[in-house]
Each structure stands twice: as structure tokens, then as C-alpha cells.
Amino acid sequence: MRVLMVAPPGAGKGTQSALIARHFGIPHLAIGAKLRDNVARGTELGHLVRGYLDRGDLVPDEIVMGILREGLAAAKAAGTGYVLDGIPRTLEQAKAAYRIAEELDMTVNVALHLKADDEEVTKRLLERASREHRSDDNAVVIRQRLDLYRRATTPILAWYGQRGILVSVDAMRPVEQVGREILAALDAMAPLVDHVPEDMRRSVDLSDLGVWLDRYHHDNGPPAG
């Protein structure tokens, strides 16, 4: 299974990517975490990118596309799929990522869109700030990250939608519920993804499923088990 995440900061890309990676036994390529690790270890790359991370700005493409290329090549060598967390963030990155993946015969099967509103994700990120010390988890930089997501990243949703590989889920619900829905969708798709011709792929919006299930369980009692 080859998956990438598209979502605003705090929607759960890292949380749900880790779940998907464990479930399918595939590597989790988290660009932001890799960059932060370099900052923490004081590497040359860390020095280069620190300011971008602190400000909530995008790190230059040549750096992140290099990390992506390495990650995809390693997954290819290991004969696995992958889950990409944090890349692509612009249409240019999405197109460059497609070219790299195509060269490796590793193009993505599913672009997973986690839908969550600004108020909810801001609350989550400020809660995390009280437990952890990410330099970009403060009110000013969170606003900048959300603004950047809206301006630079959301245009890629239409691109994946047209390719018929966009799967949208409601990420406003508790972690476990969101995770169950994602794994159910990916499990259903996994046997098919490499066999459906490109022109027959269809995007799917599951984001109302939670509301329907809640309504159903309200009317019919909780699910068994």
C-alpha cells in the first residue's frame, strides 16, 4: 500500500500515519520529524532548516524532495509500500513527487485527506505545546502554518481528486474512531489498488460516514463488541 497524507497541521497526519505504517508493515516517512531530528542533533541540515521550522515556513524544495527520493528508493529496495507524512505541500511538490515515484514505479495509491477545522486543530496544537516543546506550536506560528496550508497545500486536493485517488475522512472525531475508519477503507482498497486502471479510479468522500454511523447507533444502540 502506498499512501500519502494531506491535512492541516494538527489534523493527525503523524498519529494516523504511524497507525497505517504499523498495520501494513510499511515505512512511515515523516518529513517534519526528520527535519526536527536534524535540528535536535545539530547537523548541517538542521542548521539550514531551523529558521524555516521556527517560523512555520516551507523548507526549500530541493531539501525535502531529496529526503523524499531517498525514502522512496529505500522502500523500493525493501520491496514495501510507504506512507508519506508532510509531503507534498504544494502543487509543485506534488508534481515533482509524482515524477520521482513514477521513475521508481512507486506512484501513490491513495491520497488520504484528513478534514478538520481550524478551531479544533489549534486546540490540539496548543494542548501539545503544554506537554511538548515544538518551536512551531505557539499561537502566532500555528496561524501561519494554517494560512500556508490553505494557500499552498489545498490546491493539491483537486489534483488528487482528478486522479481518482483522493479519500477524505472526518478527522474531527477521537483518534481511535478516525483510525478505524481509515484502516477499514484502506483494507477494502488494498487488494484492488494495483489492478484498477488509472482512468477507472474514483475518489471517495467518507467524511459524512461518522455522522451517519453516530445517527445509526443513536437510533439502534451501540455496536456489538
Interacting residues with ligand AP5 (CB under 6 A): 7, 9-15, 31-33, 35, 52-53, 56-59, 64, 86-89, 93, 124-125, 128, 136, 145, 171, 174-175, 178
Residue (of 176, 213, 206) closest to 189 by Cα position: 206
* Residue number closest to ligand AP5, CB atom: 32
Q: How far apart are CA 152 and CA 86, in angstroms?
A: 13
Nearer to ligand AP5, 15 or 138 (CB): 15
Smallest distance from ligand AP5 to CB 192, Å: 27
Which DSSP state fits 104? T
| Cell numbers describing residue 72 | 522512496
Smallest distance from ligand AP5 to CB 45, Å: 12
Nearer to ligand AP5, 74 or 192 (CB): 74
Smallest distance from ligand AP5 to CB 109, Å: 19
Smallest distance from ligand AP5 to CB 197, Å: 29
Contact between 27 and 80 (Cβ < 8 Å):
yes
Is 13 annotated as contributing to ligand binding?
Answer: yes
- Calculated CA dihedral for residues 70, 76, 82, 87, nearest 10 degrees: 30
Contact between 11 and 121 (Cβ < 8 Å):
yes
Nearer to ligand AP5, 164 or 207 (CB): 207
Is 14 annotated as contributing to ligand binding?
Answer: yes
Is 185 annotated as contributing to ligand binding?
Answer: no
Nearer to ligand AP5, 131 or 195 (CB): 131
Nearer to ligand AP5, 6 or 166 (CB): 6
Contacts of 189 (CB under 8 A, 6+ apart): 109, 110, 167
Angstrom CA distances, 157 to 99, 112, 152, stand at 18, 10, 11
- The separation between CA 133 and the C-alpha centre of its own chain, rounded to angstroms, equals 22
End-to-end CA separation in angstroms for the chain: 28
Q: Which residues are annotated as a binding site for ATP?
A: 10-15, 128, 173
Q: Which residues are annotated as a binding site for AMP?
A: 36, 57-59, 93, 134, 145
